[in-house]
Amino acid sequence: MGAQATLLSDVKVKAAKPEEKDYILTDGNGLQMRARINVSKLWNFNYIQPVTKKRINIRLGTFPEVSLAQARKRTVDARELIAQRLDPKEKRDAERHAKRAATEHTFENISTAWFELKKNSVTPAYAEDIWRSLTLHVFPDLAATPISAITAPKVINLLRPLETKGSLETVKRLTQLLNEIMTYGVNSGLVHANPLSGIRAVFKKPKRKIWPP
């Protein structure tokens, strides 16, 4: 029962006032409230990393946006991960990265970044043709797709109708552009490998024009 004497209460949390230095109020099980000199009150979970055995703090939110009860619930969730030898901070960072990838690292956004570089190495007319081709044939289906979710089957299915129509030069040009964009994604650290590196081989090749002598 002695350990429970240090537990926080809503009254105690609300009554905590800023002092000349930051100070910590503990709630047990690693949950802490840091009272800052700037009046803010931060929830932290202090734990031992299950692999490195180093002490780590992970923020659980700010009071009163996150209540004492909510902070305790988040502490329980974090401790359950540790029991599975998982680092709650690493898991949260990975989830944030995945969410960011889904909202920011879309195929259209990465294509735009690639195009800003590409257009400086080609003529204005060719640059305009590149962007028109992507806008017409690729973005309607793939614009909002995270670059990490781009796959060879997805792109092949996208380009098959163009092949069926006989637009083989367009297919050839698009496979080249898509490969350049994905390679840019690899070099930017957004994907580990280019899944489109071999897709050109599955399409018919345009016939070479033979000019009369």
Distance between CA atoms of residues 74 and 67, nearest Å: 11
If you average pLDDT over residues 78-96, what whole number do you get? 90
Between 97 and 180, where is the model more confident? 180
Taking 60 as the threshold, does the pLDDT of residue 158 lie above it? Answer: yes
Closest CA to 18 of 43, 36, 34, 42: 36
Superfamily of domain 2-86 in CATH is Integrase, DNA-binding domain (3.30.160.390)
Taking 80 as the threshold, does the pLDDT of residue 136 lie above it? Answer: yes
The conformation of residue 145, written as its DSSP 8-state character, comes to: S
Distances in whole angstroms, Cα of residue 70 to Cα of each of 60, 61, 210: 9, 9, 74
**Angle 101-105-111 from CA coordinates, rounded to 5°:** 165
Distance between CA atoms of residues 43 and 60, nearest Å: 5
Taking 90 as the threshold, does the pLDDT of residue 206 lie above it? Answer: no
- Asked if CATH classification 1.10.150.130 holds for the domain at 107-202, the reply, yes or no, is yes
Domain range summary for the chain, segments of one domain joined by +: 2-86, 107-202
Q: What is the pLDDT of residue 2?
A: 42
Distances in whole angstroms, Cα of residue 200 to Cα of each of 179, 186, 210: 9, 19, 23
Closest CA to 104 of 177, 180, 190: 190
